[in-house]
Amino acid sequence: MHKSPSTANFTLRNPIQFLALGFGSGLAPKAPGTFGTLAAVPVYLLLTFLSPLAYALIVLLMTIAGFYICGKAAEDVGVHDHPAIVWDEFVGFFITMFMIPVSWQSTLIGFALFRLFDIVKPWPISFIDKKVSGGFGIMVDDVLAGAFALIIMQLIF
């Protein structure tokens, strides 16, 4: 059985780690990516009150900030793409839900599709996940998983 790296070196008092850990949701002992995506749902619901342009700009800023946030948090604990780092899941889920009509059904389907693409990592996500490192590498596979899920969401809704 594969054991996750320790989360002992993380601290929620550090603002960068607090964000990287999805407000603490990434510290869940099992399925931290799923818990991180779940923690993203209420934030997503708040973002739905914005115009599509404002939503897109915030997600773009979160993506760019994520390169630093995820990279710095990984560096702090000495583990590239530590499972507890879930800022990338937040961004990926927000991409999945861009311009999708808000309902519990669409949120549930978007959640499931994003997690599916993030876990399965079909090509080219798997290739990029293995070849790209640093904060950009941590973020890019989830950005792509979100984009794949968004395409399916657009076809459904």
What is d(CA 38, CA 24) in angstroms, rounded to the nearest whole number? 12
- Among residues 56, 137, 59, 55, which one has the least CA distance to residue 91? 59
Mean pLDDT of 135-153: 97
Q: Give dist(CA 30, CA 145) in Å, integer.
A: 21
pLDDT score at 5: 65
CA dist 10 and 22 (Å) reads 12
Query: Tens digits of per-residue pLDDT, 78-130?
Result: 988 899 999 999 999 999 999 999 999 999 999 999 999 999 999 999 898 88
Whether 8 shows a pLDDT value over 80: the answer reads no
| Average pLDDT across the chain, whole number | 94
Instruction: Using the CB atoms, write b or e for 45-82: b if 16+ within 10 Å.
Output: eebeeeeeeebeeebeebbebbbbbbbbbbebbebebb
C-alpha distances in Å from residue 10, one per residue of 44, 73, 119, 149: 25, 8, 23, 30
pLDDT of 4 over the 70 cut? no
| Per-residue pLDDT at 9 exceeds 90 | no
Q: Residue 81's pLDDT is what?
A: 86
Distance of CA 89 to the CA centre of its chain: 1
Q: Residue 124 and residue 144: Cα distance in Å, rounded?
A: 9
The two most distant CA atoms of the chain are separated, in Å, by: 46
